[in-house]
Chains A and B, each alone.
Chain A
Amino acid sequence: MWADTLLIVFISICTALLGEGLTWLMVYRTEKYQKLKAEVEKQSKKLEKRKETHGDSLDKQHKKKIEREEERLKNNNRDLSFVKMKSMFAIGFAFTALLSMFNSIFDGRVVARLPFLPLTWIQGLSHRNLPGEDYYDCSFIFLYILCTMSIRQNIQKLLGFAPSRAASKQGNSLFGPTPGQFK
């Protein structure tokens, strides 16, 4: 049991590193991305500060200024998402292939025993391709998803690839908000 679970943790560390490495090669190191990211962060912080100081004021001029800045930020965020999108698709395809390979390796194999009974709508995932009706048995895919959820995000934060909180708070990114950057 130890061997399977630790192997899955190892696989998800490797895939997370591979994913970040590929994204670095295709996106993070490009000048366009770095420029846009710096711009978005600067604008988000500026906007947040402006909202804090003039948030409650009914001054039309301030409101207009805020709206204009929001619009600019939105456009920059959209550009940033487009820069990311190309590589995201490439990585998505590569990872789907990898995942189906691992799925076939672990097909029908109970990799762990859950200490709790998962909710009915999660059982489809936690008991995927497993024989029997014992829903405490855990499939590869469930443990892999959990590992990825925790490891990928932490690796992103450690390497400083996650967008800052100010930027994600202002949202508008196509890929949704992500937690802030570790300095």
Chain B
Amino acid sequence: MCKSSNTMNKKEEKTLTPKKSVWIRAVTANSEWPDKEEFLDVIYWARQAIGILLGIIWGLLPLKGFLGLVLFAVINAGAVYLYSSNFQNVDEDEFGGAWELTKEGFMTSFAGFLVTWIIIYSGLYYEIDRVAS
């Protein structure tokens, strides 16, 4: 009886151990992603966070003009590419190619970035900028 319950426990452990939380797998290198949707969700939300963070930094600096937009696009796409191909080492083809990963949540993140950039820049530098122009 005892032996059988022991083997049962071992079996349970075996099935439970590979299923780590998404948060842990997202910050651990070379994690397993059996569910593609989960990995794409991680990319999506990471993108949103990067967008808002860059918007705050660009607004505080302040970074202005076309350069700010280009830098955002480069950093955003570059970070996701490095994260998926160098940190997680996923096979891009499984997700429909590098392009699919690059565009996942890009527009939403871009909109979030613009909103935070504009709000912080306007709040801090509106008067100075208007007088200067």
Contact = CB atoms under 8 A, between A and B. Distances in A.
Contact of B133 (A112, A136, A150, A180): A136
B40 A180 contact: yes
Interface residues of A, number: 31
A15 interface: no
B12 interface: no
Interface stretch (A16-24, A32-40, A113-121): A113-121
A2 interface: yes
Contacts of B78: none
A112 B119 contact: yes
Interface of A: 1-2, 5-6, 9, 111-117, 134, 136, 138, 143, 146-147, 149-150, 153-154, 157, 164-165, 169, 179-183
Contacts of B69: 116
A1 B108 contact: no
Nearest to B95: A165
12 contacts: A2-B122, A115-B58, A115-B64, A115-B117, A116-B68, A134-B133, A146-B111, A150-B108, A150-B109, A164-B37, A179-B104, A179-B105
The residue in B41, B64, B105, B119 that gathers the most chain A C-beta atoms within 10 A of its C-beta is: B119
Contacts of A117: 65-66
A143 B59 CA distance: 15
Nearest to B41: A182
A183 B64 contact: no
Contact of A179 (B44, B58, B119): B44
Contacts of B107: 149
